[in-house]
Amino acid sequence: MSDGHDARRDGRGRSGGPRRERSAGGDRRRGRERPPAPNKESLVGAEAELDLTDIAHGGRCVGRVEGQVVFVRHGIPGERVRAVVTKGREGDRFVFADAVEVLTPSEDRVEPRCPVAVPGGCGGCDFQHVTLPRQRHLKAQVVRTQLSRLAKIDRDLEVRPVPGDTDGLRWRTRVEFAVDEAGRAGLRPQRSHDVIPLADCPIATEGVVGTGVLDADWSGMRAVDVVAPSVGEPTLVPIPVEDDVVVEIDGVEAGEQCVVEHVDAAAWQGDFEVHARGFWQVHPGAAATFVDHVLGLLRPEPGERALDLYAGVGLFARAIVDAVGPDGAVLAIEGDERACVSLAALTPDVEQLEVRHGDVARELAPLVEGGDEVDLVVLDPPRTGAGADVVQALAALHPRAIAYVACDPAALARDIATAAGHGYELADVVAFDAFPMTHHVETIALLVPSA
């Protein structure tokens, strides 16, 4: 049995309480709903042995005990595990659990690389016990299942590595470390407020770890962000425990620093100024890969009109501006004012680019009311997805192509289903492993008017 598994047993021992037999679901009768049970007994700490049959949205494996669905962390489909319930009550349709002992290990199981000696490491790298090819296989399965369940689309798809990523380690250019009471930087285990001090974070780039952040004394801080951009020195952003304390780094108030990120895509090359706490892809190869993929899907033509929605500092807008040329027009809409200021400052002489600070749904409304039309759209919303109002508004603008960049496959599938109701269909979908060792996946879809 591996050290990781031993650690899991330790973890259970600390939090588990006395062993109880589960009876959840046992009194549920086929075809008859149980009346609501306000005093349902908590199952937290209960143990069961179960077979993991599938992978679900969020990276948990699916198993069943007496008809009750159990979403299990730290497993691999095909394994039999002993699991301890972490959330759920008797009679709930499903409960959540952690695998604490692997009874029949998958051949795709590997020793986790994270030095945090708790199940699954710090709580972020929830796939690190799985080989990299199987991680990608599981992510593809999740995207396929969400498309099938929520958008009624059955489609094969692959999860591609981000070019240059060979082992899924040393890729994360932005990390927020928590700080413990002794002022040491570390990370929190899942569902815990404890901070485990770290000597290394194996997914962080050399630039992040090389700042010495893990050796420094951060007394008085509750967290410290490290940003290791592609250009220049890494930046540290200490976050004080007390809100009214101001920390200065090299004469600049911490949190107000900016970094420069270079994009070396085939379609476009240049620099962006990004606020240290603003949005930028955390995998160093992701930005260029996504620009090339999105432009390859949209194939902008000179003179076309495009929207870049949830534009950030304009990763896609900037490349599309050059592709549509002086007779084209690009409108970038973004809710973070500082990102808008950065994009506007980057492009003072580019007349065909308009940067609008605001909420996407609100900014689209006048375009729809005015009967505007556009040719191309890039849609790159946060995890919650674009939502029905935005998708409906987009359809009313009649673009010939929408490239949807999604960090949540369920939100993507829901928005694709909405788009189908407004005359748009899925023409292409590919996913990228921009977050190795975690269950997260970036999916890029092309929507076009239905045939």
Ligand X SMILES: C[S@@+](CC[C@H](N)C(=O)[O-])C[C@H]1O[C@@H](n2cnc3c(N)ncnc32)[C@H](O)[C@@H]1O
- Give the nearest distance from C-beta 275 to ligand X in angstroms: 10
Query: Is beta strand 376-379 parallel, antiparallel or unpaired with respect to 305-309?
Result: parallel
CB of 255 to ligand X, least distance (A): 16
Which residue has 């809710």 as its token pair?
335
When asked if residue 310 is in the footprint of ligand X (CB under 6 A), the reply is: yes
The upper half-sphere exposure of residue 6, i.e. CA atoms within 13 Å in the direction of its Cβ, equals 5
Nearer to ligand X, 126 or 363 (CB): 363
Nearer of residues 233 and 359 to ligand X, judged by Cβ: 359
Distance CA 286, CA 331 (A): 23
Q: Which of residues 346-375 bind ligand X (CB under 6 A)?
A: 359-360
Instruction: Report the residue number, 169 or 315, with the smaller CB distance to ligand X.
Output: 315
Residue 304 in the binding site for ligand X (CB under 6 A): no
For ligand X, give the closer residue by CB, 273 or 380: 380
The verdict on whether residue 380 carries a ligand-binding annotation is yes
> Which of 315, 434, 437, 446 is the binder for ligand X (CB under 6 A)?
315
Indicate the residue among 268 and 279 with the shorter CB distance to ligand X.
279
d(CA 254, CA 268): 31
Stretch that binds ligand X, among 60-68, 149-157, 299-307, 310-318 (CB under 6 A): 310-318
Residue type, 31: G
DSSP of 97-109, one letter per residue?
Answer: EEEEEEEE--TTB
Binding of ligand X by 300 (CB under 6 A): no
Question: 3-class SS at 335?
Answer: coil
Q: Are 338 and 275 in contact (CB under 8 A)?
A: yes
If binding is defined by CB under 6 A, does position 336 make contact with ligand X? yes
Cβ closer to ligand X: 126 or 261?
261
Q: What is the CA radius of gyration of the chain?
A: 24
Return the range that interacts with ligand X (CB under 6 A); candidates 99-107, 249-257, 332-340, 420-428.
Answer: 332-340
Q: What is the DSSP string of 5-53?
A: HHHHHHHHHHH--S--B--TTTTPBTTBPPPP-TTPPB-TT-EEEEE--
Question: Is the distance from CB of 49 to CB of 75 less than 8 angstroms?
Answer: no
CB 306 within 8 A of CB 375: yes
Contact track, ligand X, 167-206, x by CB under 6 A: ----------------------------------------
**Which DSSP symbol is given to 162?**
P
Q: Which stretch binds ligand X (CB under 6 A): 53-61, 124-132, 133-141, 305-313?
A: 305-313
The yes or no reply on residue 165 touching ligand X (CB under 6 A) is: no
Binding to ligand X by residue 279, rule CB under 6 A? yes
Is 141 annotated to bind a ligand? Reply is no
| Residue 362 beta carbon to ligand X: minimum distance, rounded to whole angstroms | 8
Residue 14 has a CB neighbour count (10 Å cut-off) of: 9
Has 424 been labeled as part of a binding site?
A: no
CB of 42 to ligand X, least distance (A): 36
Q: Which two tokens stand for residue 201?
A: 């974070």
Q: Can residue 380 be called a binding residue for ligand X (CB under 6 A)?
A: yes
Is the separation of the CB atoms in 91 and 43 below 8 Å? no
The reply to whether 304 sits in an annotated binding site is no
**Using rule CB under 6 A, residue 292 touches ligand X:** no
Residue pair 353/332 in contact by the 8 Å Cβ criterion: yes
Return d(Cα 276, Cα 290) in angstroms, integer. 21
**Minimum distance from CB of 361 to ligand X (Å)?**
7
Is residue 316 within 8 A of residue 331, CB to CB? The reply is: no
**Residue 434 beta carbon to ligand X: minimum distance, rounded to whole angstroms:** 11
Alpha-carbon span 135 to 168, nearest angstrom: 10
Q: Residue 225 or 380: which CB sits closer to ligand X?
A: 380
Per CB under 6 A, 334 contacts ligand X? yes
Residues in contact with ligand X, counted by CB under 6 A, come to a total of: 16
Report d(CA 451, CA 433) in Å as an integer: 31
Q: CB of residue 407 vs ligand X: minimum separation in angstroms?
A: 6
Catalytic sites, residue numbers: 407
- Judged by DSSP in three states, 439 sits in coil
Q: Which residues bind ligand X (CB under 6 A)?
A: 279-280, 310-312, 315-316, 333-336, 339, 359-360, 380, 382
Binding site feature residues = 281, 310, 334, 380
Binding residues for S-adenosyl-L-methionine: 281, 310, 334, 380
